Amino acid sequence: MPHISIKAETLFHAGLLSVTNSFITNILVALLLIVVAVMYYGGQKTVTGILDLALRGLYGLFAMVFGDSINKYFPVVATFFIYILIANWFGLLPGVGSIGFRHEESIVPFLRGGTADLSTTLGLSVLAIGLVQFYGIRELGFRAYMSKFINLRGPMDFVLGLLEIISELSRALSLAFRLFGNIIAGEVLLVIVAFLIPYFVSLPFLVFEIFVGLIQAVVFTMLVSIFISVATTKHSA
């Protein structure tokens, strides 16, 4: 059986920070996106054309959720989308997860898909849920927004408020586990298929994983944008 690691492996320590292989991949993805952004604003013809087309499609997708307030929230949700999409696809590149050094009978890869690490996805989801609270407070005001959670009008309302707090926490957890689980399941699937039949058979699975990466990026950002649009609308109660 091939060795499968659920958590990212530590490559070296830099002071107190232990640098893992998925951390390095995340840095690479961020650098790549920065380079593309610089090219876009530099007016590079091909990059501008492709990105304009892609962003227009994305804008239409999120306009369905946000309606008129799309311009306020499009930058942040589009950032989430692009980052998760590129991180998902980066993990499928040849060499990522396969080139590494030998350590106690198993291979520790130098690079590991950024979203195939629970720390990354948990960080993203906690950031997203934190932003939902921030936007809710900004749009409705602190007292009005907090009355959703702490409600002293009656015992039943108080219990419902506690349930709201728990549901907000579980949203962060479920976002993180959904993304992490799908990506790690894809990697395990690819490893097992390549282990069973070494040639050609893993190609359709690779195409399927490209599709899954896109779908999971859409699902994550769609859920975050639905949470934002629910948190920022006034409810009469």
Partner 1 sequence: MMGTTIAIGALGPALAIGMIGAKGVEAIGRNPEAQSNITTNMILAIAFAEAVAIYALVVSLIIKFT
Sites of contact with partner 1 (CB under 8 A): 4-6, 174, 177-178, 180-182, 184-185, 188, 215-216, 218-219, 222
Identify which of residues 27 and 226 has a Cβ nearer to partner 1 in the complex.
226
In angstroms, give the least distance from the CB of 218 to partner 1: 7
Helices 70-90 and 21-41, interaxial angle, to 10°?
130
Q: How far is the CB of 145 from partner 1 (least distance, A)?
A: 26
Q: Write a three-state SS string for 122-146.
A: HHHHHHHHHHHHHHHHHHHCHHHHH
> What is the closest distance, in whole angstroms, from the C-beta atom of residue 184 to partner 1 in the complex?
7
SS3 of 226, please?
Answer: helix
Residue 44 beta carbon to partner 1: minimum distance, rounded to whole angstroms: 31
| Nearest residue (CB) to partner 1, 71 versus 174 | 174
Q: Pairing relation of β-strands 10-14 and 17-20?
A: antiparallel
Angle between helices 45-66 and 70-90 (to 10 degrees): 120
Q: What are phi and psi of 56, to 5 degrees?
A: -65, -45
How many Cβ atoms from other residues are within 10 Å of residue 106's Cβ? 12
Q: Which is nearer to partner 1, 87 or 140 (CB)?
A: 87
CB 120 within 8 A of CB 26: yes
Q: Which is nearer to partner 1, 78 or 116 (CB)?
A: 116
Please give the single-letter amino acid code of residue 206. L
CB 230 within 8 A of CB 98: no
- To the nearest whole angstrom, how small is the minimum distance from the Cβ of residue 190 to partner 1? 14
Residue 135 or 180: which CB sits closer to partner 1? 180
Q: Which is nearer to partner 1, 163 or 173 (CB)?
A: 173
CB of 212 to partner 1, least distance (A): 9
